[in-house]
Amino acid sequence: MAIATTMTALWVVPSTATAESPPDGGDLGRQWTAAYDAPAKYPGPVHIDFDVPIAMSDGTVLKANIYRPVDAAGRIVDEPLPTIVNLTPYTKFASLIADIALNIPVLSDALIQLVNRFDFGGTPFDSITDLTKALAGGAPRAFGADRKLVQQGYTYIVADVRGTGYSQGAWQFFQSRENQDTLELIDWASKQAWSDGNIGMSGISYSGINQFKAAEQNPPALKAIFPIEGSTDPLTDVAFPGGGLGLFAPLYIAAVDLISNFPDPVGIALGHLDYQWLLDRVATPLEFFDYILMALSLNVDSVPQPLKDQLLPGSSLRSAFTDSHPERIQVPTFAYGGWQDIFASSSARSFSDIPLPPERKKLIMGDTYHFNPGSGLGDPGKPPRLDVLQKAWYDKWLKGIDNGIDQYGPVVLWQQGGGWTTASSFQRPDMEYQRMYLSPTISGTATSVYDGSLSAQTPDAAAQLTVSPVNGLTSLCSRDAAVESAGAISLLNFCGRDDRIHELGGLTFTGAPVAEPTVLSGPINVHLNTMYDNIEGYWAVTVNDVAPNGQSTVLASGQLAASLRAVDEEKSTKDADGDYTHTVYKLTLADRQTLVPGQPTVLDVGVNPVDAVLQPGHRLRVNVFASNFPRGFLPPPLLFDGGILNSVAPQHLLLDPSAPSFVNVPLSRPLG
């Protein structure tokens, strides 16, 4: 069982850097921007070798576009150069389209500048600005192929992952064969005549996850990675968070399957007809959709055996989502995540999980969703653009240029309720965990199913509060709904930025106003004493910042299928009082504990890590709901296991002084 010292070792990694740099990097940040925007070292139009076949060790052929610089005389540069690898399931053709759109002479830069000038701040439409500013924040060049990087002396490879795009084979979704492909492609690239043997990796989302997986193996040629919105724990981030299913995963699988069934138009135009590709797609046109259909079973006993097998620890598919080892990474890593991203939890933990000195690892956490990474970066007082930082990182670790990027940060955080800050670690040093008890005393601050209070002392009064999944349908207009939609629902300010509509369907517990700025930093746990009318239940919680005007802003959230409450003690951490701080679940059918109707059941709901500040006059609030659609809902086998009425059965929260419910929250100062 982990204890406080373990928690400290895991979450707080002291910095050996002499000082924390400002979020914008100061003079060095301006130098990195100038270096990226400087006239091209190789000003000729970038040469592209389209649809290059690369054979893997099992005979399967991956297809790649290779971008190479051209000098002023129009000659392809034959000098061996550092090489960047981007392995994508979104097709190299989509990357090519993004690349072309970002590099139309004059027009592209003018359009980006024009879009960046639109600022709806202070209006009901300010969330639109959060999305449009991503275009100028540098992330789109990591999705495509960064021609400006190529023109400064790099070769860039965009390859279709096995079974996607125009690559042969069946899609493996991070299983061992796909991971082996990544290592073989890195090795292949390092041995080409146009490569100097130094390889970096780039990419967003899926192409960030495979960077972490490659770096765990520490291949000799891999000198740096720059994952944007990657994950080191896809199972609990998005695939099965707290034992719940969300809409994102099945829609994502459907989208990748769909685009993978179309051949590369450029490859076809060039006459690169690949009949093996066609045979492979005919054989597996809807990869992983069979498991989605199996998950629609109406009770646990009727779940087909193939799906049960894949849910077992050690199975190929479960291992693909759980067998991550950031603690093995020795490759310099610069990670970007967003507090509202689907991968926020493991992104925030990546800095402490990777055992490197701060000069060799960096973390930026922005106030962004999955759809708008890097939004606003490059503006005054904010971190440099992601394309700028990426080039500086590669220049340092692939070219050996002493540009000071190793002294940046090392942790740069958008502090919710405050602004951009730097820190030596995440979680921040000197945080102390404190219980804040859920009390039946009316707070008078919320409109909800029940308006309770938060108290630093164990409440004297007892109560049984009831909430239903039907009440919880207000989650359709919530910050979690915005997260699951990758940011689309955030365009509705009254859903993404204010939780009061959502709170109409839940239980709220609100503390007293703070008298001075109070920082929250790190993972959170909500401990609940519960009771049920059926054998299954589902809980969702949020931790909120309530402003004096009543606006309730979600800082972090968590969810849990009640029967899957078994905690993995080896991976979880506790404070000195024995309360969970970082909560990890076993999430196996073998560890499922069905509920006994009418019997109290204690459980712990892990909440994503947070970095926030409560300003004077603001209050801490914990919300408790019985559903969380579309971010999470009970899988059908669990939902209907006690009969169809289980889907609408009410759930009860017991506020019992002898077995209290509370939130365990990391604070810079005690709350009263």
Percent of the chain having pLDDT more than 70? 96
Structure tokens at 154: 């790099």
pLDDT given for residue 9 in this prediction: 35
Q: Residue-wise over 503-542: b if at least 16 C-beta within 10 A, else e?
A: bbbbbbbbbebbeeebbbbbbbbbbbbbbbbbbbbbbbbb
pLDDT reading at 12 higher than 60: no
pLDDT value at residue 129:
81
Q: Is the confidence at residue 14, as pLDDT, over 70?
A: no
Q: How confident is the model at residue 123, as a pLDDT?
A: 73
**Residues 159, 225: Cα–Cα separation, whole Å:** 16
In the chain, the domains with their CATH numbers are 26-286+324-423 (3.40.50.1820), 432-667 (2.60.120.260)
- Of the listed ranges 85-94, 185-194, 486-495, the least confidently predicted one is 486-495
Pairing of strands 651-655, 518-532: antiparallel
The pLDDT tens digits for 315-374 are 999 999 999 999 999 999 999 999 999 999 999 998 999 999 999 999 999 999 999 999
In Å, how far are 179, 182, 192, 461 from 189, measured between CA atoms? 16, 11, 6, 67
Average pLDDT of the residues in 264-281:
94
CB within 8 A of 282, min separation 6: which ones? none
- The residue type of 557 is S
- For the whole prediction, is pTM greater than 0.75? yes
Contact 157, 191 (CB under 8 A): no
Which tens digits make up the pLDDT trace of 38-64? 999 999 999 999 999 999 999 999 999
In this prediction, residue 508 carries a pLDDT of 98
Per the structure block, which two tokens stand in for 25? 């990097």
| CB neighbourhood size of 318 (10 A) | 19
Question: Nearest-5° angle of CA 555, CA 363, CA 126?
Answer: 45
Q: What is the pLDDT of residue 113?
A: 72
Average pLDDT over the chain, rounded to an integer: 93
Say which residue the tokens 């106030």 belong to.
367
Structure tokens at 213: 């997986």
Distance of alpha carbon 242 from alpha carbon 156, whole angstroms: 39
Per-residue pLDDT, 472? 87
Q: What is the pLDDT of residues 412-467, one digit of tens each?
A: 999 999 999 999 999 999 999 999 999 999 999 999 999 999 999 999 999 999 99
pLDDT at 10: 33
Q: Model confidence at 4, in pLDDT bands (50, 70, 90)?
A: very low
> How much of the chain, in percent, has pLDDT values that exceed 90?
88
Q: In 3D, which of 435, 524, 508, 500 has the Cα closest to residue 465? A: 508
At 131 the pLDDT is 78
In this predicted structure, the answer to whether residue 103 has a pLDDT above a threshold of 70 is yes
Q: Tens digit of pLDDT for each residue in 201-251?
A: 999 999 999 999 999 999 999 999 999 999 999 999 999 999 999 999 999
Rounded Cα gap, residues 491 and 482, in angstroms = 8
Give mean pLDDT, residues 137-157.
95
Model confidence band, residue 106 (pLDDT cutoffs 50, 70, 90):
low
> Does the pLDDT at position 1 exceed 90?
no
Residues 138-165 have a mean pLDDT of 96
**What does the pLDDT read at residue 17?**
42
Average pLDDT over residues 168-195: 97
Residue 108 pLDDT class (50, 70, 90 cuts): low
User: What is the tens place of the pLDDT at every residue in 641-651?
Assistant: 877 877 889 99
For residue 391, give the 3-state DSSP assignment: helix
pLDDT of residue 107: 64
